[in-house]
């Protein structure tokens, strides 16, 4: 059976980390962008990550951070995957990842007029930039960093890219099954869609989101 990977981002409390693990998510995200309401210091992230069980990936989200800042944050927090979510070029993402010697995701913020060939070309450039490149994260373009809980047109994603991309932007318990069944991404990433308030996760919404994704997996596999 297909198994879509699930990342819950923007964790700030031990109980939220525990809820992610209990629900069976595959990755936990920590935001290192000081202007975000979900920001945690590298040291605080390290304390939270210490509570993760084995085989749950600790991911660090960065916005326009320097290579030195990224390397220092990785050392202090012990995240094992980077996510560049700002205006970084492919070369800048590669340089920061090389400084930290850590694999990374690069965001592509999808606009209404984005063409499929743009996504494929950007992925090609990223992959050629560094062996540490792990994949694209597709989010909704807004005049800010992060999709602001808004959905983009999933039909813009090429079928031959979706299966190795991470889908983000406006996902929720209500649309997750349809999104995964339609696009069949490698993974999904959610933050505000499972919150009681900014930076405070709701364990019931986390569990419901995981169930919704698994329902799509079952549909795809015909079970």
Residue 91 belongs to domain spanning: 5-222
pLDDT of 190 above 90: yes
What is the radius of gyration, based on Cα positions, of the chain?
16
Q: In whole angstroms, what is the distance from residue 132 CA to residue 14 CA?
A: 29
Three-class HEC string of 42-104: HHHHHHHHCCCCCCCEEEEEECCCCHHHHHHHHHHHCCCEEEECCCCCHHHHHHHHHHHCCCE
Q: Which residue is listed with tokens 């991309």?
A: 165
**pLDDT, tens digit (0-9, with 9 covering 90-100), for 131-182:** 999 999 999 987 666 546 789 999 999 999 999 999 999 999 999 999 999 9
For the stretch 56-102, pLDDT in tens is: 999 999 999 999 999 999 999 999 999 999 999 999 999 999 999 99
**CATH number of the domain to which 104 belongs:** 3.20.20.70
Give the pLDDT score at 13: 97
**pLDDT on residue 222:** 80
Quote the pLDDT of residue 142.
78
- Which residues form the catalytic set? 9, 139
Domain count of the fold of the chain:
1
> Residue 141: what pLDDT?
87
Which residue do the tokens 């007029």 mark? 113
**Cβ atoms of 96 and 63 closer than 8 Å:** no
Q: What pLDDT is recorded for position 132?
A: 98
């Amino acid at each position: 059976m297909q198994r879509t990977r699930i990342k819950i981002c923007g964790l700030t409390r031990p109980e939220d980390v525990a809820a992610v693990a209990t629900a069976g998510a595959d990755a936990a995200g920590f935001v290192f962008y000081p202007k975000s309401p979900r920001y945690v210091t590298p040291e605080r992230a390290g304390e939270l990550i210490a509570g993760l069980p084995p085989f749950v990936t600790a991911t660090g989200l960065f916005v326009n951070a320097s290579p030195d800042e990224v390397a220092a944050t990785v050392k202090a927090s012990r995240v094992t995957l980077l996510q560049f979510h700002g205006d970084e070029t492919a070369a800048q993402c590669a340089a920061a990842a090389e400084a930290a010697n850590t694999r990374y995701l690069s965001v592509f913020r999808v606009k209404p007029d984005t063409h499929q060939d743009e996504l494929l070309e950007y992925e090609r450039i990223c992959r050629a930039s560094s062996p540490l490149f792990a994949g694209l994260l597709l989010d909704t373009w807004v005049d800010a960093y992060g999709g602001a809980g808004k959905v983009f047109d999933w039909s813009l994603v090429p079928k031959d890219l979706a299966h190795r991309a991470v889908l983000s932007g406006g996902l929720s318990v209500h649309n997750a099954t349809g999104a995964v069944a339609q696009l069949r991404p490698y993974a999904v990433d959610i933050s505000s869609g499972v919150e009681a308030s900014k930076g405070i996760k709701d364990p019931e919404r986390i569990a419901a989101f995981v169930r919704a994704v698994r329902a799509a997996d079952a549909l795809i596999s015909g079970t």
